[in-house]
Structure 1
Amino acid sequence: MFRRRVLVGALALLLAGCTSSSGDLPEGSEVLGRSATAMRSVTSTHFTIKVDGELPNVTVKDAEGDLNAAGDSKGRAKVDQFGQLIEVEYVLVKSDLYFKGPTGGFTKLPAALAGQVYDPTAILNPDKGVAKVLSSAKDAKTVSSDGGVTVVEATVPKDVVGGLVPGIGADVKGTFSVKDDKLTNAVFALPSGAKVTVALSDFNKSFTVEPPK
């Protein structure tokens, strides 16, 4: 009888330990709040964007490049044109946008036209970028914290997420990975089944963007 009580007591302590460890997860809203503050001070980043599924009026399927807080950016993107994926290079500097398709050289366009494809400068824009998304997310819940990376799930209002990812017309579920208070990955799951992934790295790394010659 004594041995059985010891075993039952040990099992109870083990279960209590498991419950306690899950309760040690940081508060989701606090994680996103700290990350929002940290992202407002980021001066540059390397980004990748991937679209799985269809977004209304958005032709970019994936993009990758470097971006600074001043709005200068350079990189490449795959754009859907009449059912065909075309890879383009781009350079966005000051008020000028340069595109280079599969053939030929760069073509200079007004920077305002970037929004018709995808405007990467929105990422670090404090009024509509990742900082705004993080600070506006609702019902945040931490699902894991391991290896220095904390993963938080939350709901993002459509008018907020639409500033970062155009073509979204409904509130979405966001899954955010945060490391050292910096947002490293965000996945937005749309009601339609489409998914948009934004990954960020190389924070505050110095680079220059010059008009192509």
Structure 2
Amino acid sequence: MSARWLLVCALALLTSCTSGGDLPEGATLLSKSAESMRSVKTVHFSIKVDGELPDVPVKNADGDLTAAGDSKGNAKVNFAGQLLAVEYVLTGGNLHFKGPTGGYTKLPAAFAGQVYDPSAILNPDKGVAKVLASAKDAKTKSSGDLSVVEATVPKDVAAGLVPGISADVKATFSIDKDNKLKNALFELPGGQKVDVGLTDFDKPVTVTAPQ
């Protein structure tokens, strides 16, 4: 076999490997991930908001969450033009939160929705499982230990996870080999971005009301 023929074969092989022809279908990856995420009982989450969202005053948040809706963590919230750091505990139908000074204040859990309700993340009816299952025009960008899929999420579904979204959004999902969603990046038409990161799936989480 001539050296020229070997070069042609090598180029052909390289082209086939980089063309994306062997990548798994995006819709299949999202469907498997949606099914897997429905069974998640606990998770550690992080949220980062780039830009202003009228219905989401939280700029970033980090905490632990159970499928039952209990959560604890900390957040930075835009209040009256100031960025305030708060700690929170969401359990037993109540929201306990503490600002930079003083102790915890107790309010009904419904007040969490006025800032950001993390319990929506694992809610099968409006959380990440619903988002993954409802995404359209999915296209796999890369595959390996982490698969990256781009898709469009309908506005009504996206709003269940990120309140105030009023248009379909572009989403980029990163999914691991166990079909768990590791990251979801939402890009809104106005240029705002919401980044949701998930780790520590099904690790023990205990949430108790502060004394």
- Separation in structure 1 between the aligned mates of residue 123 and residue 152 of structure 2, nearest angstrom: 20
Cα RMSD for the two superposed structures:
1.3
Counterpart mapping for 1:85-104 below 5 A = 85-104=83-102
Question: Which of residues 141, 146, 151 in structure 2 aligns to 1:154?
Answer: 151
TM-score, normalisation: structure 2: 0.95
When normalised by structure 1's length, the TM-score is: 0.94
What is the CA–CA distance in structure 1 between the aligned matches of 2:180 and 2:46, rounded to whole Å? 15
Structure 1 spans left out of the alignment, 5+ residues: none
- After superposition, where does 1:16-165 map in structure 2 within 5 Å? 16-21=12-17, 22-146=20-144, 148-165=145-162
Name 2:9's counterpart in structure 1: 13
Q: Which amino acid in structure 2 is aligned with residue 175 of structure 1?
A: T
Alpha carbons 1:173, 1:190 under 8 Å: kept: yes
For structure 2, the 5+ residue unaligned runs are none
Cα deviation, 1:183-209, whole Å, max 9, x if unaligned, reads 000000111111000000000011111
Secondary structure, aligned partner of 2:143 = strand
Does the 8 Å CA contact 1:56/1:168 hold for their aligned counterparts?
no
| 1:177 aligns to 2:174 (yes or no) | yes
State how far apart, in whole Å, the 1-side matches of 2:169 and 2:205 are: 33
Tell me, in whole angstroms, the C-alpha distance in 1 between the residues paired with 2:124 and 2:143.
26
* Distance (whole Å) between structure 1 residues aligned to residue 147 and residue 182 of structure 2: 10
1:73, CA displacement in angstroms?
Answer: 0.3
- 8 Å contact 1:71–1:94 — kept in the other structure? no
Aligned partner of residue 23 in structure 2, secondary structure: coil
Deviation at 1:94, TM superposition (A): 2.2
SS in 2 for 1:24: coil
Question: Percent of aligned positions with the same letter in both sequences?
Answer: 66
Where do 4+ consecutive residues of structure 1 move more than 6 Å?
none
Q: Distance in 2 between matches of 1:44 and 1:206?
A: 7
Partner of residue 168, structure 1: 165
Deviation sequence 1:39-95 (CA, Å, 0-9, x none): 000000000000000112211000000000010000011000122100000000021
Q: In terms of Rg, which structure is larger?
A: 1
CA distance in 2, matches of 1:78, 1:121: 17
SS at match of 1:64: strand
**Partner AA of 1:165 in structure 2:** V
Please say if residues 39 and 183 of structure 1, whose CA atoms lie closer than 8 Å, have aligned partners that are also in contact.
yes
